[in-house]
Amino acid sequence: MEEKIEFYKEIEFKDTEIGKIPKEWEVVKLEHLVKMDKFAIVDGPFGTQLHSNEYVKWGVPLIRVDNINENGSFNPNNLVYITEEKWEELERSAIFPGDILLAKTGATIGKVCLFPEKFKKGLIASSCAKITVDSTKAYNIYIFYFLLSNFGYSQILALATGSTRPTINLNPISKIKIAIPKNLKEQQRIAEVLSTIDEAIQKTDEIITKTESLKKGLMQELLTKGIGHREFKDTEIGRIPKEWEVVKLENVVEIEDKYRIPVKKQDRQLGPFPYCGANGIIDYVAGYTHDGKFVLLAEDGGFFGPFENSAYIMRGKFWANNHVHILKANEEVLISEFLAFCLNFINLVPFLTGSTRPKLTQEDMGMIPLPLPPLEEQQKIAEIISAVDEKLKTLKQEKAKLERIKQWFMEELLSGRIRVRAA
């Protein structure tokens, strides 16, 4: 039977160098909470000690900043490996399950995560540091969350040196001040609360990933094979149902780009109308350029590969800038939702011009070939994919809600404003 976690509001505080904390808590430098080991806080080997040509297909994982996600989770993608012999040579920078990883340089400075249990050991790259907490003095997951929070991150930035490429060295890392309950059980309870929320976020993320995969599969099936067809024909866009046509985009839409008006951020007047760009709504402004139902397609600065969200639908009044094309579908032959799904399914990269900032010109856009099923089938296809889109929208809203809850709990629990009963 799980123990019930009880919360209560703290009323007695004391002033410290990092702010008000409960009277029963203390502020301790990180160096006093790690193991009595000269490598309890350590960075990775110098670049001259390890080169990319020494990576192997399988072996001991080398942990780089790319393996630390912004949200504090470990990213196993793009792992590289070294041999057991190389690990032994550089064992000073070894990492083990439960150790804390910290990105210590550049734009990623301050990212932290825990090294997961599924690995027996690893080695950190030169851009990372490792922290091994003494379990008799502190609970490692509590320390991890403190470093992940604004309380830890602000200190990391303050202790960093350099402006072009900020770096925090080992000595400043050891001086980071931790507000910590003296009671290990309370530390553990706080970590349990935050870990439970993180687990819910991770599960929601996994469902989002599966749902996105389902959507891609449905788009691939429905936008090439349709619903219930048995006869197919070869066309310039591949095999499609015999009853379908292939049309050029310019022949089934009105392009209303001439009404676009770019507005610099400093000149925008806040209001109720969406201000739209290549990747969606940017802001809300006082006026509007369009009123109706339109498909907006990125002109430049968008994502143009297959299954990318290069197109989206806007309804009602909105303002469009000059980085997005404005398409009004001829509803007698083409449903807007079907058009948007097609444009997000097609690989638009071959229609782009320029290399530094690729652009989809109006002329090239007009030449994009589209499959054109009968209206009734377009409607059915759009409804099926839209249902999955609605599910994705709900899941993403739930994830955002959980992330807000986590942020609130981190601020309240790690400052001691809200306490957890340790007994």
Asked whether the predicted pLDDT for residue 412 surpasses 60, the reply is: yes
CA triple 191-4-6, angle to 5 deg: 70
Q: Give the SS3 label for residue 149.
A: coil
Strands 19-22 and 238-241: unpaired
Contact in structure between 123 and 90 (CB atoms under 8 Å): yes
Alpha carbon distances (Å) from 75 to 50, 79, 289: 22, 8, 43
Contact in structure between 242 and 233 (CB atoms under 8 Å): yes
Q: Sorting pLDDT into bands at 50, 70 and 90, what band is 1?
A: very low
Phi-psi region of 119 (alpha: psi -120 to 50; beta: other; left: phi over 0): beta
Domain positions in the chain:
25-181, 245-372
Looking at residues 135-146, what average pLDDT do you find? 97
pLDDT, tens only, 331-387: 999 999 999 999 999 999 999 998 788 999 999 999 999 999 999 999 999 999 999
Q: Give the SS3 label for residue 358.
A: coil
Among 255, 297, 256, which residue's Cα sits nearest to residue 276?
Answer: 297
Mean pLDDT of the chain, nearest integer: 94
pLDDT, tens only, 178-237: 999 999 999 999 999 999 999 999 999 999 999 999 999 999 999 999 999 999 999 999
Question: Quick one: CATH architecture of 245-372?
Answer: Alpha-Beta Complex (3.90)
Tokens 């340790």 belong to 422
Looking at residues 247-255, what average pLDDT do you find? 97
Alpha carbon distances (Å) from 260 to 91, 156, 295: 60, 44, 14
**Residue of 99 and 53 predicted with greater confidence:** 99
Among 285, 349, 269, which residue's Cα sits nearest to residue 277?
Answer: 285
Contact in structure between 343 and 310 (CB atoms under 8 Å): yes
Residues 6+ away with beta carbon under 8 Å from 4: none
Q: Sorting pLDDT into bands at 50, 70 and 90, what band is 252?
A: very high
Looking at residues 289-293, what average pLDDT do you find? 96
Contact in structure between 239 and 366 (CB atoms under 8 Å): no
Contact in structure between 315 and 293 (CB atoms under 8 Å): yes
Tokens 């870990």 belong to 195
Looking at residues 122-128, what average pLDDT do you find? 95
Phi-psi region of 411 (alpha: psi -120 to 50; beta: other; left: phi over 0): alpha
Q: Sorting pLDDT into bands at 50, 70 and 90, what band is 3?
A: low
User: Which pLDDT score is estimated for 2?
Assistant: 56
Question: How many other CB atoms are there within 10 angstroms of residue 265's CB atom?
Answer: 8
Note the pTM of the prediction, 2 decimals: 0.86
Asked whether the predicted pLDDT for residue 278 surpasses 50, the reply is: yes
Alpha carbon distances (Å) from 246 to 100, 249, 308, 348, 374: 56, 10, 21, 16, 12
Q: Give the SS3 label for residue 9.
A: strand
Q: Select from 3.90.220.20, 3.90.1170.50, 3.90.1150.10, 3.30.360.10 the CATH code of 25-181.
A: 3.90.220.20
Q: Same fold for the domain at 25-181 and the one at 245-372? A: yes
- In angstroms and rounded to an integer, the radius of gyration of the C-alpha atoms of the chain is 27
Question: How many other CB atoms are there within 10 angstroms of residue 111's CB atom?
Answer: 22
Minimum mean pLDDT among 101-105, 186-190, 265-269: which range?
265-269
Contact in structure between 242 and 235 (CB atoms under 8 Å): no
> Quick one: 224 exposed, middle or buried, by C-beta within 10 A (0-12, 13-18, 19+)?
middle
Looking at residues 265-287, what average pLDDT do you find? 93
Look up residue 355 and give its DSSP letter.
S
Strands 13-16 and 19-22: antiparallel
Q: Which amino acid is at 369?
A: P
Distance of CA 179 to the CA centre of its chain: 29
Among 244, 220, 219, which residue's Cα sits nearest to residue 386?
Answer: 219
